[in-house]
A and B are shown apart, each in its own frame.
Chain A
């Protein structure tokens, strides 16, 4: 067994898991954070996307042992008890998700993008979502939603 101690969504967590356990299984099965999904198990679909130390990661490809001492942010860590994250809000308003299975991964990719680049072009957004497969939506409304947030941030700045 491997013992890991890490920060998940701002909370210190420790666990002891079998060495072959992936970060995805650790999150889903040990911590009951089932937002990240298993879609392909080989890093193709992006349904398992989370942020580790500020980097976007396919959690199905990372072993639990590799996140020891690191900081993991999952979809469950975006909203607070009384507020949606702006990306979640925009995705809800624009109807960006249909079956929703890819949603947590897509939103994490969008969050990472907006952290890096507050004013992304459509090409930047497409590039950031290139690791997330969606079979329902055709991505149009996701891109619209992410653009809206970027625009609102600009507005917010001018207000302040």
Chain B
């Protein structure tokens, strides 16, 4: 494209700004970039534009909240607000009597009130028990969002509150009451053993111990979770949803609604940010049941607070490291214990646990290793998938630990990593032989680009 048209565009567009806008739903007859299919274009090293860039920039991309279906009702979910309790009574009568409210459902209206990507431990709407403050206890469908929100305030719930389990280390203890009693609080465990850990420590010049912990992190996609269900007279269910994993979600939806998967069609809408937080169902069975009950399309969009306390978050991990090293900083033995705070439900904890445990030794050659990881229930917002599945947390742990060791031994932090880094043919913690290993090269390249000249205390080595 030449500069002449560019400058032309610029000046005229400014003048035309005040001209009447086109109707928003009419496609623009703009020049469209269509690749020539008969030509093989070199992809690597070429600049390209995203196929959705234009509609994004024009504000024409239709996210789920931009859809309106005639006759559509708006749903809102009443949140428990207490971390651990028995539900004694839910009174929805006043809400149901409100003008504009079309239907109200509670946990007892959900045919099979449990789901989850691995363990089926999460209710769609809390029935009998509340496991964390973000649990839904009732849902309202109304003709406007405002009426639905007002109706939530008319729903009264009586609770018998219990002392919540909040600290994952408490949750590990035998005397702590089970969050999902009679099930144990530890619901996932992984142990990796390699070499002879005691021999490694015995031969070490020094042994370092440290404990690290990370916090809970919410994905905060700019677009909140949302779904829109239409249950038709033939018993077929169509759901538009922000769900990332629609096939997996369909299995969970079919389970909770007690209908075969073949009756359900899920349409994934353009997602306004996922980051792992839209990997499981949230409001889908609720809007489906409300749609079945009312015979009308029903949409439910999370509010921003719900996004924080009712969707999944990143696992906080408590990491205990013990490392034996030679005088030169070579790691002889490392022992690690990870305790993952799983929150109220399993969600993607098993995946996160596995990945955190396999990666927690770091990209280093360690002959004698023990890594043990536990994931426990607490009465907090559930934790699940978030970019990296546990890898960023343990990276913070092992790299902080390496810095501490380097400092204590007076070795440059880059040098100690180079001395321990995985090499071509190294064995991973699970004794898998590694190929195409470029840890050293990457570190040296990065050091060069950062202009790393060594730390102040790294002189002697």
Contacts and interface: CB of A to CB of B under 8 A. Distances in A.
Interface of A: 8-11, 18, 20, 28-29, 32-42, 44-45, 47, 73-89, 91-93, 95, 97-104, 107, 133-136, 149, 152-153, 155-156, 159-160
Interface stretch (B59-67, B180-188, B232-240): B59-67
A117 B63 CA distance: 32
Given A20-B146, A79-B58, A91-B53, A135 B221 contact: yes
Contacts of A92: 49-50, 53-54, 57
Given A10-B21, A20-B146, A153-B10, A35 B16 contact: no
Interface in B9-32: 9-13, 16-22, 24-25, 28-30
A97 B6 contact: no
B190 to A, nearest CB: 31
Contact of A84 (B30, B49, B63): B30
Nearest to B219: A135
B10 A135 contact: no
A18 B146 contact: yes
Interface centre among A32, A44, A88 (most CB of B within 10 A): A88
B248 to A, nearest CB: 21
Contacts of B108: none
Contacts of B54: 84, 88, 92
A83 B13 contact: yes
Interface in B247-296: 270-275
A85 B13 contact: yes
Interface of B: 3, 6-7, 9-13, 16-22, 24-25, 28-30, 48-50, 52-63, 65-66, 68, 146, 219-224, 270-275, 303-304
A47 B222 contact: yes
Q: Is the interface of B mostly helix, strand, loop or mixed?
A: loop
Contacts of B55: 100
A156 B222 contact: no
Contacts of A134: 222
Given A36-B59, A75-B58, A75-B59, A99 B223 contact: yes
A88 B57 CA distance: 5
B24 A33 contact: yes
Contact of B10 (A73, A80, A82, A152): A152
B205 to A, nearest CB: 42
Contacts of B66: 28, 34
Contacts of A36: 59
B223 A39 contact: yes
Contacts of B13: 78-80, 83-86
Nearest to B1: A93
A76 B53 contact: no
A86 B23 CA distance: 20
A107 B146 contact: no
A156 B59 contact: no
B272 A32 contact: no
Given A37-B222, A37-B223, A159-B7, A76 B59 contact: yes
Contact of B275 (A33, A73, A100, A135): A135
Nearest to A87: B57
A152 B6 contact: yes
B10 A84 contact: no
B143 to A, nearest CB: 12
Given A41-B304, A95-B53, A79 B271 contact: no
A28 B145 CA distance: 14
A83 B21 contact: no
A39 B304 contact: yes
A32 B55 CA distance: 16
B16 A97 contact: no
28 contacts: A9-B20, A35-B58, A37-B63, A37-B65, A40-B304, A74-B59, A76-B58, A79-B28, A79-B30, A81-B29, A83-B16, A84-B9, A84-B30, A84-B54, A84-B57, A86-B13, A91-B53, A91-B56, A93-B49, A97-B50, A97-B57, A99-B223, A100-B55, A100-B56, A101-B273, A104-B59, A149-B10, A155-B7
Contacts of B28: 79, 81-82
